[in-house]
Amino acid sequence: MLGFLSNGLPIYPMPDSVRVFAPATVANLVCGFDVLGLAVERPGDEVRMTRRAAPGVRVTRITGDDGRLPLAAERNTVSASVQMLLRHLGRDADFGVDIELHKQMPIGSGLGSSAASTVAGLWAINELLGRPLTPLELLPFAMQGEELACGTGHADNVAPALLGGVVLIRSYAPLEVVRLPAPPLHCAIVYPHVEVATRDARQLIRRTVPLHDAVTQWGNVAGLVSGLFLNDIGLIGRSMQDVLVEPVRAMLIPDFYRLRELAMHAGAVGFGISGSGPSVFAFAPDEATAAAITEQLQRHLAGLGVGSEGYVSAVNQQGPRVID
Amino acid sequence: MLGFLSNGLPIYPMPDSVRVFAPATVANLVCGFDVLGLAVERPGDEVRMTRRAAPGVRVTRITGDDGRLPLAAERNTVSASVQMLLRHLGRDADFGVDIELHKQMPIGSGLGSSAASTVAGLWAINELLGRPLTPLELLPFAMQGEELACGTGHADNVAPALLGGVVLIRSYAPLEVVRLPAPPLHCAIVYPHVEVATRDARQLIRRTVPLHDAVTQWGNVAGLVSGLFLNDIGLIGRSMQDVLVEPVRAMLIPDFYRLRELAMHAGAVGFGISGSGPSVFAFAPDEATAAAITEQLQRHLAGLGVGSEGYVSAVNQQGPRVID
């Protein structure tokens, strides 16, 4: 920080170039379909953004996407959301940037791949502009990026990616997010190499549900939130049950219930689908247990002939970070 | 306390007679249908229980019920649940009590009338026996009493009546209750003199609900629980919205939506139906505001030709209490 403006706002340095990491996220956190999300330390995506003389937003390079993401600025969610932000601030006519996106996580994995990219881009442009917006004020732009990427502007990936920790989206209209205490747990994450498009995964879900199951679900949502505030690991674990959405989405994941058994037997606090899948995740009391769970799940998938990627990560506490 | 037994349990005096007050409760706390309940300081019921030489449980007197409650020990929820507890402890053959029940709150009001009586009785017998059971251990007996009174063994009246404050019933099978922080708020409660039987009120509710509404509901449940832990009155108020059950039950309450408007205009934090109605309640930031809300709601009902009872109360923090 360089000091304060006359209105009390701090003055931050405005670099010409910045590199930002934004975390992967576990949305639809078990019982908290559409309302609870969690940020993890890894994997995540990186954006390098460099100011240039001419106005306009360009994507100059994308790595790690196997050529699947568009370079065209209006179709790429990173550049499109950066453009929206510049327009909102009235800077689109005088401010130009080049963007490099370095995907360090799989696309279509249920780990908030597009959210991580979008959030990294928004965090980077906000840095280059001297932080005119708070992380919470970046959220609507990130949601518009999600809408472009997934067809729906859900917040349960972008909100935890921006804010870190566990985030509750209490309401969409009006938008209200609440940062919940992040548990002192480690995450075992496994992405089986089967593809599930978010749009398709959503269409599987029933439009109406039995009230009895909905009551069970919000009892568990309330239990999970209470467990986070009370730092009660047992209560968190017992509340990690989804009676409504998981039974449908589990069909898309190879041997889902056996994976759960293996994880719980290896010491998991709880287990569930990440986002709309196919990634699965488990909470574990420590890093060694998380590593053992990841390894067992990957080995079981390999036995089924399904390749996978595995991650072991703490809960991300801070959201994105500037790397240099 | 008189000292400790060799197994470390404290020894309490065992009086021959005890008088216990147990609080009224607001079950189905707005969005928390079937899972959240709240105890208030008043109204409530009183039980006087006196040991006698011969075994057996007798109801010797009931006041304040207009002759509506049965004296027959096996049909009265107070004596029936006391008998169950004595049987559970193997004391039914050697321990006898006479019970006086003094109803100090209306029956069929949606304020947990049967729960208050049952809990007062169980608290009293536990005192007379030297407190062999914890409040939580009394809960299953209270739920059996509720089943006798209401046809369903729901816990969201008896659990807060026993434990005080705001209580979450995370799960019924297995039973798990969580005591949440009680908000520093006052309650305005108004019971309009129209009768709604719990059985009937439950039958009005749809068996299936739109998933979209269920998501809205559990977002609010999570917001309400977060607001209680964060002591964030604004968040508590914004989360006090029930999109699923209230729209149906509101039909049973005279001019419900006008009552809400009046309460909110008079400074309520939030407003809802108590239990299955017809009582309504509001959270207010202080006692004076709660009193003003109660008075306005009663005046409006009087204008409609509907008599009512009004209460102003703090949140009960301790559950039942021994009066003498």
- Beta carbons within 8 Å of A109's beta carbon, 6+ residues apart: A191, A274, A278, A279, A309
**Distance between CA atoms of B29 and B15, rounded to whole angstroms?**
36
Answer whether A222 sits within 8 Å of B36, measured CB to CB: yes
Chain A: nearest CA to B35, how far in angstroms? 6
What chain B holds in terms of domains, given with CATH numbers, is: 3-180 (3.30.230.10), 186-314 (3.30.70.890)
A151-171: average pLDDT: 91
Annotated active-site residue in B146, B246, B289, B294: B146
- For residue A261 the two structure tokens come to 């058994």
Whether residue B146 lies in the annotated active site: yes
Within an 8 Å CB–CB cutoff, is residue B234 touching chain A? no
User: Tens of pLDDT along A295-317?
Assistant: 999 999 999 999 999 999 999 99
Give CA A239 to chain center in angstroms: 21
- List, in sequence order, every residue forming a beta bridge with B178; answer none if it has no partner: B168
Contact B121, B137 (CB under 8 A): no
Phi, psi values for residue A283, rounded to 5°: -85, 140
Using a 10 angstrom Cβ sphere, with 0-12 exposed, 13-18 middle and 19 or more buried, the burial of residue A94 is exposed
User: Tens of pLDDT along A42-97?
Assistant: 999 999 999 998 999 999 999 998 888 888 878 889 999 999 999 999 999 999 99
Helix (H) or strand (E) holding B150: helix B135-150
Contact A39, A315 (CB under 8 A): yes
User: Tens of pLDDT along A117-145?
Assistant: 999 999 999 999 999 999 999 999 999 98
Catalytic sites of A, residue numbers: 146, 198
- Beta carbons within 8 Å of B115's beta carbon, 6+ residues apart: B22, B25, B142, B145, B146, B157, B158, B161
Collapsing DSSP to helix, strand or coil, B28 comes out as coil
Phi, psi values for residue B270, rounded to 5°: -170, 165
DSSP per residue, B161-173 = HHH-SEEEEEEET
- List, in sequence order, every residue forming a beta bridge with A18; answer none if it has no partner: A49
CA dihedral of residues A77, A78, A83, A89 (deg, nearest 10): 120
Angle CA B263–B168–B230, to nearest 5? 65
Answer whether A219 sits within 8 Å of B170, measured CB to CB: yes
Dihedral class, residue B251 (left if φ above 0, else alpha if ψ from -120 to 50, else beta):
alpha
Which of these, B111, B98, B84, B245, lies nearest to B187 by C-alpha position? B111
B222: nearest CB among A35, A210, A244: A35
| A&B contacts, CB < 8 Å | 128
Which of these, A109, A115, A121, A143, lies nearest to A39 by C-alpha position? A115
Answer whether A34 sits within 8 Å of B215, measured CB to CB: yes
Within an 8 Å CB–CB cutoff, is residue A215 touching chain B? yes
DSSP per residue, A210-229 = EHHHHHHHHHHHHHHHHHHH
SS (H, E, C) B207-226: CEEEHHHHHHHHHHHHHHHH
Chain A residues whose CB is inside 8 A of the B229 CB are 225-226, 229
Within an 8 Å CB–CB cutoff, is residue A231 touching chain B? no
Q: What is the pTM of this model?
A: 0.93
Which of these, A248, A216, A224, A263, lies nearest to A29 by C-alpha position? A224
Using a 10 angstrom Cβ sphere, with 0-12 exposed, 13-18 middle and 19 or more buried, the burial of residue B309 is middle
pLDDT at A195 over 80: no
pLDDT in single tens digits along all 324 residues of chain B: 566 766 776 766 678 999 999 999 999 999 999 999 999 999 999 999 999 989 999 999 999 988 888 888 788 899 999 999 999 999 999 999 999 999 999 988 999 999 999 999 999 999 999 999 999 999 999 999 888 877 776 888 999 999 999 999 999 989 999 999 999 999 999 999 997 666 666 677 788 999 999 999 999 999 999 999 999 999 999 999 999 999 988 988 999 999 999 999 999 999 999 998 999 999 999 999 999 999 999 999 999 999 999 999 999 999 999 997
Tokens 């990026």 appear where? Answer: A145
What ipTM was assigned to the predicted interfaces of this complex?
0.92
**A171: nearest CA partner in chain B:** B219
The length of chain B is 324
DSSP per residue, A79-144 = HHHHHHHHHHTT-TTT-EEEEEEE--S-TTSSS-HHHHHHHHHHHHHHHHTT--S-HHHHHHHHHH
Chain B residues whose CB is inside 8 A of the A205 CB are 211
Using a 10 angstrom Cβ sphere, with 0-12 exposed, 13-18 middle and 19 or more buried, the burial of residue B180 is buried
Strands A96-102 vs A56-63: parallel, antiparallel or unpaired: parallel
**Distance between CA atoms of A126 and A95, rounded to whole angstroms?**
12
What is the CB neighbour count within 10 angstroms for residue B293?
31
Percent of chain A topping pLDDT 70: 94
Within an 8 Å CB–CB cutoff, is residue B176 touching chain A? yes
Chain A residues whose CB is inside 8 A of the B244 CB are 211, 214
What one-character DSSP code corresponds to residue A251? Answer: G
- List, in sequence order, every residue forming a beta bridge with A25; answer none if it has no partner: A39
Angle CA A200–A203–A209, to nearest 5? 150
Using a 10 angstrom Cβ sphere, with 0-12 exposed, 13-18 middle and 19 or more buried, the burial of residue B92 is middle
Q: How high is the pLDDT of residue A32?
A: 95
Tokens 């039973």 appear where? Answer: B175
Q: How high is the pLDDT of residue B148?
A: 81
**Distance between CA atoms of B166 and B160, rounded to whole angstroms?**
6
- List, in sequence order, every residue forming a beta bridge with A310; answer none if it has no partner: A190
Q: Which amino acid is at A95?
A: F
Answer whether B226 sits within 8 Å of A176, measured CB to CB: no
SS (H, E, C) A167-186: EEEEEECCEEEEEECCCCCE
Which of these, B103, B38, B55, lies nearest to B77 by C-alpha position? B103
What is the CB neighbour count within 10 angstroms for residue B290?
28
- For residue B212 the two structure tokens come to 């979209």
A151-165: average pLDDT: 89
Helix (H) or strand (E) holding B295: helix B287-303
- List, in sequence order, every residue forming a beta bridge with A97; answer none if it has no partner: A51, A57
Within an 8 Å CB–CB cutoff, is residue A169 touching chain B? yes
Candidates B29, B169, B226, B235: best to mutate against A (most CBs of A within 10 A) is B226
Phi, psi values for residue A119, rounded to 5°: -65, -40
